């Protein structure tokens, strides 16, 4: 577990290697709290190793995106399938935020403040979506998923410019603003 002497990068690594949903969420929140309360510091000599496969729970079963069935929003199952996909996106976003903290040393403090804030937001979002799923008798991991977001991060891990908190926020704004997504969200309210 975490120690008060851990650097922010070491805390980020612990979040990344956590292999259960509960542990990853708990460590994400604890690491963010430690950073915000100045109980974790940056290690200016920290050298990250490439983390190709972070810790992950046994479920969901990860498949190629083309193996996933299309989600028809006209049915309860289709709407729950969409919410499960959103949970997977949020879960990967937690990993991506902590990966940006872990991997890119020597950035200004504001960079780490922003990514820690993103990680905390994504953890909260993930837990909210999981709560929705549980209220409908489905758990995160009950349906197959893909890890396209993490896979893309690995393909671009040499390019610091692809790991900006602003690009992540703009991406999520595009997700919320797209008219077809408004129809999806309205369908979920049925």
How many CA atoms are closer than 13 Å to the CA of 17, on its beta-carbon side? Answer: 11
Q: Report which of 124, 130, 99 is spatially closest to residue 112, judged by C-alpha positions.
A: 99
Residue with tokens 């390019």: 159
- State the residue for tokens 């006209």: 74
Query: Token pair 């922010």 is at which residue?
Result: 8
Whose tokens are 């549980």? That residue is: 134
Q: 12, exposed or middle or buried, with CB in 10 Å at 0-12, 13-18, 19+?
A: buried
Q: What is the pLDDT of residue 149?
A: 76
Q: Is 41 helix (H, G, I), strand (E, B) or coil?
A: strand
Q: Which residues of the chain have pLDDT under 70?
A: 1-5, 157-190
Q: What is the pLDDT of residue 69?
A: 78
Q: Which of 48, 148, 67 is nearest to 107 (CA)?
A: 48
Residue whose C-alpha is closest to residue 145's, from 52, 58, 63: 63
111 three-class SS: helix
pLDDT at position 151: 75
Tell me what pLDDT residue 171 has.
Answer: 46
pLDDT at 114 (0 to 100): 97
């Amino acid at each position: 577990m975490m120690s008060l002497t851990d650097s922010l990068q070491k805390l980020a690594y612990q979040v990344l290697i956590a292999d259960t949903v509960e542990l990853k969420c708990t460590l994400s929140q604890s690491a963010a709290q430690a950073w915000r309360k100045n109980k974790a510091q940056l290690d200016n000599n920290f050298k990250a190793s490439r983390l190709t496969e972070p810790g992950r729970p046994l479920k969901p079963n990860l498949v190629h995106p083309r193996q996933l069935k299309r989600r028809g929003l006209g049915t309860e199952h289709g709407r729950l399938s969409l919410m499960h996909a959103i949970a997977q996106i949020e879960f990967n976003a937690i990993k991506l935020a902590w990966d940006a903290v872990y991997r890119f040393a020597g950035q200004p403090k504001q960079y780490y403040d922003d990514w820690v804030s993103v990680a905390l937001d994504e953890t909260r979002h993930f837990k909210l979506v999981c709560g929705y799923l549980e209220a409908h008798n489905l758990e995160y991991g009950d349906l197959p998923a893909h890890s396209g977001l993490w896979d893309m991060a690995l393909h671009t891990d040499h390019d610091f410019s692809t790991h900006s908190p602003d690009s992540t926020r703009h991406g999520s704004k595009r997700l919320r603003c797209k008219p077809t997504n408004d129809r999806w969200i309205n369908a979920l309210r049925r």
